[in-house]
Amino acid sequence: MELNGVRVSRETQERLQHFAQLFQKWAKTINLVAPSTVDDLWRRHIADSAQIFQLHPVPSHWVDLGSGGGFPGVITAILLAETGAGHVDLIESNQKKAAFLRVCLRECEARGAVHAVRIENAPTVAQHCDAISARALAELELLLDYAAPWRERNENLRLFLHKGRDYERELEKARGRWEFDLVKHRSVVEQDSVILELSRLRCVN
């Protein structure tokens, strides 16, 4: 099986397929993603989320903010299982979604843990990370505020953030308070989307 042109093992394929089955089951009773996108689960959500790990395919300690339906956090945790190292702390304050995420991690033998706390409180339960991911969560400036406590503990922190067509406006606004090194990765799944890779984050105002 290939994801975005990258071959994955049979074990990873089976884990992803099991996740898809769990997602379809739980999505009948919990609003995990926009209902209009459920039928396009593999492309719109699984393949799209897999790009995060594929941009940083090393055994790292991740924090995934606002994990919701498991994107990209559960997908990263499944792909990490193939490496035998690394970990994802999934932050999701909604108790029903957190329960879904725990079932997914356990049954898919993924490398992660779920913390049912508000993002503002997450640095107290997930104290260290190498990388942060977020998808369809908040504007860039707010995401950088969320990331600040982890940046204080790790100057080499990297952020991988899914953004839509309005990302340039968000970048301009964020640069009023923040400086950072930036790499824009064009999405291979959604034509108008990007993944912003930020590093050397520093607050200037």
Residues 78/112, Cβ–Cβ less than 8 Å: no
- Pick 2-158's CATH classification: 1.10.10.10, 3.40.50.150, 2.170.120.12, 2.40.50.40: 3.40.50.150
Residues 153/161, Cβ–Cβ less than 8 Å: no
Per-residue model confidence as pLDDT tens digits over 113-149: 999 999 999 999 999 999 999 998 999 999 999 999 9
For the ranges 8-12, 26-30, 47-51, 111-115, the lowest mean pLDDT is seen at 26-30
Amino acid at 100: F
- What average pLDDT does the structure give for the chain? 94
Domain residue extents for the chain: 2-158
What pLDDT does residue 152 have? 95
**Model-wide pTM > 0.75:** yes
Residue 91 bridge partners (DSSP) = 65, 115
Q: What is each CA distance from 120 to 93, 106, 145, 153, in whole angstroms?
A: 10, 26, 9, 16
Distance of CA 148 to the CA centre of its chain: 17
Per-residue model confidence as pLDDT tens digits over 88-103: 999 999 999 999 999 9
Indicate if the pLDDT at residue 183 is higher than 90: yes
